C-alpha cells in the first residue's frame, strides 16, 4: 500500500463514486479498479460496498481508510520538515474559516501573512461555524480553524476576538419601544446560545415573555436588509454593521454593566505547532495582527 493507494482511498471517501474519483486523480477507471482489487488481496478483506448510486466503505475498509489518512498526514509532515531544513517557513497551511470572519476580517490578515511568508502555500476553506468547520477540524481536513462561537475541543483553543451584540434599527429607538416594533429574526439561528441569553436579557428588561411580533427570514444578511428598510429591529454582532452608517446600533449589556459579547475562536491540534507554516500563522494571529482585527469597540485577546 503506497501513497497513491492512500490518495485513492481518501478521494473515494470524499467523492463516494469510483467514476468521480478516477476523474479527479486523473487515472482510468480500470486502473483504479485494479488498484482496489490489489489492495483487497493484500489485506484479504473487502474494502468497498458498491451501490447503484455510489460506494461505501466496509467495516474493514473504514480501518484501512483511517490508516490511509494517517499515512498521508505523516507524508505531508515529512515533506514540510524536509522543505524547512533549508527554508524554515514554507510548506502548506490548511485553513478553515468562518464565512462571516472571511467576509469581514480575513483578507488583510492573509495578505500581510502571505507577503511575509511567500513560500507558504495556503489552502483556504470557508464554511459554517456550527456545521462545516467543526467537521473540518475533527476530521483533520485543516490545520487551523477560526470560527464564531465556542465548541467543545480538548486541544488548543484561543479567543481572538470579542465584539458586542446589539440591537439595530433604521431609526432611533428606546428599548421600551421594542415590544411594539417587529423583531426581524434569522430563523437559521433559533435556539442558540444568543437566543437563550437574549431571552434572559428580555425577561430582566421587561419582566415579560420574549416578543411574539416576529418576522422570520433565512439569513442574518436578510434580516439586516429588512431592518435597513424600516421593517423592524434585530440583534447582530457589531461586525455585521460597522460600515453601515444608515443603521443605528445599540449595544446590549447585562444588569451589572457587562456587555453581551460574541466571541471568535481559533482552534487547532497540538501537533499543528510542529508544522512551521501552521505555527507561524498561529503566532501571527495571536501576537501580531491585533491591530488588523481590533476596530470599533472590538477587542482582540491573546489568552
pLDDT for the residue 188:
61
Tell me the pTM. Answer: 0.65
The C-alpha atoms of residue 8 and residue 252 are separated, in whole angstroms, by 52
**88-303 is classed in which CATH architecture?**
3-Layer(aba) Sandwich (3.40)
Which stretches of the chain score pLDDT less than 50? 190-191, 291-292, 294-303
Cell of 116: 511575509
pLDDT for the residue 204:
84
Domain-wise residue ranges, the chain: 3-81, 88-303
pLDDT for the residue 94:
95
Express each pLDDT in 261-284 by its tens digit: 889 999 999 999 989 899 999 998
Dihedral pair phi/psi, residue 4, rounded to 5°:
-65, -40
Instruction: Report domain 3-81's class.
Output: mainly alpha
pLDDT for the residue 98:
94
Express each pLDDT in 74-84 by its tens digit: 887 777 666 65
The C-alpha atoms of residue 103 and residue 101 are separated, in whole angstroms, by 5
pLDDT for the residue 239:
86
Question: Checking phi first, is residue 159 left (phi over 0); if not, alpha (psi -120 to 50) or beta?
Answer: beta
Amino acid at each position: 500500500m503506497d501513497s497513491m493507494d492512500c490518495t485513492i482511498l481518501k478521494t473515494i471517501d470524499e467523492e463516494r463514486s469510483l467514476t468521480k474519483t478516477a476523474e479527479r486523480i486523473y487515472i482510468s477507471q480500470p486502473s483504479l479498479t485494479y488498484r482496489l482489487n490489489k489492495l483487497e488481496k493484500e489485506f484479504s478483506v473487502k474494502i468497498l460496498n458498491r451501490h447503484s448510486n455510489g460506494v461505501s466503505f466496509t467495516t474493514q475498509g473504514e480501518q484501512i481508510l483511517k490508516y490511509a489518512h494517517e499515512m498521508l498526514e505523516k507524508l505531508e509532515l515529512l515533506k514540510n520538515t524536509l522543505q524547512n531544513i533549508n527554508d524554515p517557513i514554507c510548506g502548506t497551511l490548511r485553513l478553515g474559516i468562518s464565512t462571516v470572519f472571511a467576509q469581514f476580517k480575513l483578507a488583510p490578515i492573509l495578505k500581510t501573512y502571505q507577503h511575509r511568508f511567500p513560500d507558504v502555500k495556503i489552502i483556504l476553506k470557508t464554511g459554517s461555524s456550527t456545521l462545516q468547520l467543526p467537521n473540518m477540524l475533527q476530521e483533520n481536513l485543516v490545520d487551523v480553524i477560526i470560527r464564531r462561537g465556542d465548541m467543545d475541543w480538548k486541544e488548543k483553543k484561543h479567543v481572538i476576538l470579542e465584539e458586542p451584540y446589539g440591537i439595530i434599527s433604521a431609526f432611533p429607538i428606546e428599548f421600551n419601544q421594542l415590544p411594539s416594533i417587529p423583531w426581524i429574526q434569522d430563523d437559521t439561528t433559533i435556539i442558540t446560545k444568543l437566543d437563550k441569553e437574549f431571552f434572559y436579557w428580555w425577561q430582566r428588561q421587561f419582566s415579560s415573555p420574549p416578543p411574539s411580533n416576529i418576522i422570520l427570514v433565512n439569513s442574518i444578511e436578510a434580516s439586516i436588509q429588512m431592518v435597513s428598510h424600516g421593517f423592524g429591529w434585530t440583534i447582530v454582532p457589531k461586525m455585521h454593521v460597522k460600515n453601515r452608517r444608515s443603521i443605528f446600533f445599540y449595544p446590549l449589556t447585562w444588569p451589572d454593566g457587562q456587555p453581551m459579547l460574541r466571541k471568535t475562536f481559533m482552534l487547532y491540534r497540538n501537533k499543528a505547532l510542529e508544522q512551521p507554516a501552521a505555527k507561524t500563522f498561529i503566532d501571527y494571529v495571536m501576537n501580531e495582527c491585533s491591530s488588523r482585527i481590533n476596530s470599533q469597540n472590538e477587542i482582540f485577546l491573546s489568552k
